[in-house]
Chain A
Amino acid sequence: MAVPTIVRERTPQLIVLAVILALNAVISPGFFSIEIQNDRLYGSLIDVLNRGAPVTLLAIGMTLVIATKGIDLSVGAVMAIVGAVAASLITSGYSLPATLAGALFVGLVCGLWNGALVALLDIQPIIATLILMVAGRGIAQLITEGVILTFNDKPELIFVGSGSFLSLPMPVIIWIVIAILAILVVRRSALGLLIEAIGINRRASTLSGVNSRVILLAVYAVSGLCAAVAGVIAAADIKGADANNAGLWLEMDAILAVVIGGTSLLGGRFSLVGSLMGAMIIQSLNTGILLAGFPPEFNLIIKAAIILIILIVQSPASQTAMANFRANRQTVAVKTESREHAAR
């Protein structure tokens, strides 16, 4: 019973996703084919799910932050920091659990830093997180001492990025598990309601006894954690930490995924499922552009143009126009029907 509601609420995103996947199939005929090699699924669709892992993870945290009327620009930089931390821990001989714990801890600290600036010092979120966005890559470079820190000889960490489990690539398993966890925690507890309330009217929420500061701190911490997981995956994928390019511009993709998913930047009502679809839409676009074999210099422009079209279709103005159009057609239909009725 719950599934149809989700489908109904997210119809625009589903349509867009379907259209883009169909276009991909036109461009590259084998797009939907999936095959099993060495006990592992291969195919463009699996690739979309796999490559989309970092943006999907960032979008989960970003959704919660945006729901509180905030924004987290630092997630791309946090990915770089965490990638550097993971690479330097594993190359200094720490075990995989210790490395992962250290990486997640650093992501948590980054998130709490942002949260403290926003919740305790009341700095505007865009400025507060800009600080870490700018400083983050510098910090990452300090950790890697200016080089690309590789760990080709550490299969256990590489497994996180390119291994597979139950025939699915690890990154896909990780983001799906985290997404399900996030949705369960947010919707089965009262957290979702309190987050939305803070985004809609923080003052009224505080006056009603909501611990707004703690909740704000928490959403930024979650965003930091999600960025940390994304950072580990990105590093494991290339078997190294690249302080300059890991997660570069991904904060923008994450924000876009949230917006395409139907959560307003003004805060309030949010949909994690919508954001996940948004992330998949963006990744399908990226994959499609690559498959189409356009000269790479066109990639960003094509992406921007398609996103513009999506946002125009979703804009309140065109939604109203669509509703009017539908209403008109209905009245016309009713009129024809009644005329036919009269004729009979």
Chain B
Amino acid sequence: MANAQPLLSVRGVSKAFLGVSALENVDFTLQAGEVHALLGENGAGKSTLIKIITGAYRRDEGEVLLEGTPIYPRDVVDAQKLGIGTVYQEVNLLTNLTVAENLFLGRQPKRFGLTDVREMNRRSRAILDTYGLHIDVTAPLANFSVAIQQVVAIARAVDISGKVLVLDEPTASLDAHEVEMLFAVVRQLRARGMGIIFISHFLDQVYEIADTITVLRNGRLIDTVPVAGLDRLKLVSMMLGRQLESDIKRTIDPDTPKSEPLVSLRGLGKRGNVDPLDLDIRQGEVVGIAGLLGSGRTETAQLVFGIERADSGTISVAGTPVAMTSPRKAIAQGFAFCPEDRKTDGIVGDLSVRENIIFALQAQRGWMRPLSRSEQEALADRYISALDIRTSDREKPIKFLSGGNQQKVLLARWLATNPRFLILDEPTRGIDVGAHAEIIRLIIDLCERGMALLVISSELGELVGYSSRIIVLRDRKMVSELTGDEISTDHIMKAIASHGATGEAA
């Protein structure tokens, strides 16, 4: 195979944003007639790499060769002209226009300066015929299912570009039958000799369609391997960065008498988000949630905290059922929630560190009972020193703090409300090593002081380190609950990698 010149070759590409490296010296090679899956968790650098290839970003270093020639796409349109087309998860076509108009938007066949509708429709039919799609091209795109819209988007991209096709999570909103239909199209394009980059979080689909897999993690290339013969467990460990090894675990005295659960979920679920699940969380217990991105981890936390409303099941707090219809209701029960996306869901950027720390407590007290300035300052100073928040001044707007310090401020915000149940969604993502260790210590400390915690994390080693119990989610279902000696990254990865019917945790 060494003789074949690769269709697309990325060599030593790096990209940094404001000094933070997003991609470091990454190589990626796509052959003609290949479906190449690009895998990695959030922040691995997948989308940065794709955006460099498709011209949305400029690379800082390295080169991109298309059929051996270096290319420097200025923007997405430029990349399309060079032969690189992209189809995103959310179809970005205009659903109120007809199928034919969507296929030829911006490049309509002209006659006497006007769009030649008959010619456009004729050509559209011809194009879609090659995909085995016989639909009315004069009907608005909105009349068709997402899968067909997806195929139209692909047809447009292929017709314009025709060399490299990037599919960015194309199957995320499709059902099994529609995925099959989409894959038939992908196979056909592969047979035609196109190079296809396929991004998906569904490992089953990757195994079904891809020839080669490239795994990125933390902006670095981990490996490029053929799919045939690749062990699932090995793939998951490549993505998550954990080897099968013995873990450092918090020693939990097994003789501790089991108290009544503080929070219990019974059949809690929401259609399309999370399948119904049962879970008990006791005081002095950390329950970990593991699973790949999109497995329903965050969605579960959102149901518990009343951000999304469950359409089945109940939540009981200390034995009493509670209708969790809003975050306020949850907070009134002594719940607290540190969200995954600090920027949009957590910090109030222009407010000071002090105001952000007292914020949830003040909201709980209501506007009529303000905390005095001196109370606010005392609270802020206490948490700034207790959590070692690095800021020059408590009056500094929080948006100027580093990610780790913002996270500590958010933890302080909730600790100030003195919660009995704390939910943490990816508490250590995107923060520096020092703050990382401090937050883990804090989790253990809070737990020992009798708080109940629910922690979602992609860092399995961490999760194993502090959890009393771990539940594993896959494809929006709880597939395993690990307790005692079963708690290990090994078991978690096996549960994530297991496929078919309800997975057995080894």
User: Which residues of A line the B interface, CB within 8 A?
Assistant: 188-191, 193-194, 196-197, 200-201, 203-211, 215, 268-269
Contact = CB atoms under 8 A, between A and B. Distances in A.
B360 A208 contact: yes
The residue among A196, A205, A207 with the most chain B CB atoms within 10 A of its own CB is: A207
Nearest to A269: B350
Interface of B: 305, 307, 326-328, 331, 337, 339, 344-351, 355, 359-360, 362-371, 413
The residue among A190, A200, A206 with the most chain B CB atoms within 10 A of its own CB is: A190
A212 to B, nearest CB: 10
Given A194-B362, A194-B363, A209-B363, A204 B371 contact: no
A62 B403 CA distance: 35
A194 B337 contact: no
A197 B344 contact: no
A197 B351 contact: yes
B350 A203 contact: no
Give 5 closest A-B pairs by Cβ, nearest first.
A190-B370, A209-B363, A209-B331, A210-B363, A191-B367
Given A188-B370, A207-B337, A196 B351 contact: yes
Contacts of A208: 327, 359-360, 363, 413
Contacts of B331: 209
B339 A207 contact: yes
B347 A204 contact: yes
A190 B360 contact: no
A86 B342 CA distance: 50
B350 A200 contact: yes
Contacts of A193: 351, 355, 359, 362, 370
Nearest to B364: A209
Nearest to A210: B363
Contacts of A209: 327-328, 331, 360, 363-364
Nearest to A264: B350
B345 A204 contact: yes
Nearest to B344: A203
Given A194-B367, A208-B359, A210-B359, 16 more contacts: A189-B370, A190-B362, A190-B371, A191-B367, A193-B351, A197-B351, A200-B349, A200-B350, A206-B326, A207-B305, A207-B327, A209-B327, A209-B328, A209-B360, A211-B328, A269-B350
A283 B232 CA distance: 74
A205 B348 contact: yes
B449 to A, nearest CB: 22
Contacts of B337: 207
A102 to B, nearest CB: 28
A341 B88 CA distance: 67
B371 A201 contact: no
Contact of B346 (A189, A196, A204): A204
Contacts of B359: 193, 197, 205, 208, 210
B363 A205 contact: yes
A201 B339 CA distance: 14
A201 B351 CA distance: 10
B367 A201 contact: no
Given A207-B327, A207-B337, A208-B360, A189 B348 contact: no
Contacts of A194: 362-363, 367
